[in-house]
Amino acid sequence: MRNSHASRTGDLDRGILIGANLNWANLNGASMTNDANRVPSRRRHAGLTFLEVIIAASILSIAAIAVLELLASSDSIGLTARRQALAAVEAERALEMYAEAIKDGETLPSAASLQTGMQGEALGGCSVSIAATNVTEEFTIPPAGPTGSPRAVPIRLRFLVATVEAPDGEVLVRLERAVPVESF
């Protein structure tokens, strides 16, 4: 093992032999640096260049535009969903009204216009139409006992189809319901 005095002396001899300009501030065995190889301080160039600022601003603006487009499209999707939900409520209301009228033996017109005040601007100008189809279905009833035979029972049904259309002809909602009737 070398002593610390010999180590320092060896360092000095090497510095003299090489002819380098040594930094003598720390002679207790730490590494010494050569002034010629010293890296310039970063503090002299601490600011950002104009080009770096322009690039950063353009990246941030592209990201902001993408976020704003996502917000706009989600708002549009939300309005479309609300409009379809309101149209489904109106179609269900029309089907219920027609089903009650059929049970009471009344007749109603097959088309109606939705008023703007009823559902705000979402369904303004939309129309509800009801189509009715008479159908007789035969259902087989199983035998009541071991000796009975199955029997077919005709049931008269009226299929109602409610369609809500936008003013441009786009179908917003189409709902169906079967209503039993006594006679056609």
pLDDT band at residue 119 using 50, 70 and 90 as cut-offs: low
Instruction: Determine how many CB atoms are found less than 10 A away from the CB of residue 100.
Output: 12
Q: What is the pLDDT of residues 147-161, one digit of tens each?
A: 878 888 888 888 899
pLDDT score of 135 more than 70: yes
What's the pLDDT band for 17 if we cut at 50, 70, 90? Answer: very low
Tens-place pLDDT, residues 157-177: 888 999 998 888 889 999 999
Is residue 4 pLDDT above 60, yes or no?
A: no
Percent of the chain topping pLDDT 90: 18
Q: What is the DSSP string of 80-98?
A: HHHHHHHHHHHHHHHHHHH
Q: What are phi and psi of 24, to 5 degrees?
A: -95, 15
- This prediction's pTM: 0.54
Weakest-pLDDT range from 29-33, 44-48, 84-88, 126-130: 29-33
Looking at residue 70, its amino acid is: L
pLDDT at residue 67, as a whole number: 94
Q: Which of 126, 124, 114, 116 is nearest to 170 (CA)?
A: 126
**What pLDDT does residue 19 have?**
46
The bridge status of strand 171-180 relative to strand 111-113 is unpaired
> What does the chain come to in residues?
184
Residue pointed to by tokens 């990201």? 63
* Segment 58-63 mean pLDDT: 96
What DSSP character marks residue 3?
-
Closest CA to 179 of 105, 122, 124: 105
Binned at pLDDT 50, 70 and 90, residue 57 comes out as very high
SS (H, E, C) 115-164: CHHHHCCCCCCCEEEEEEEEEEEEEEECCCCCCCCCEEEEEEEEEEEEEE
- 111 or 85: whose pLDDT is higher? 85
Q: Tokens for 103?
A: 């049970």
Mean pLDDT, the chain, whole residue set? 76
| Cβ pair 179, 155 in contact under 8 A | no
pLDDT of residue 121: 67
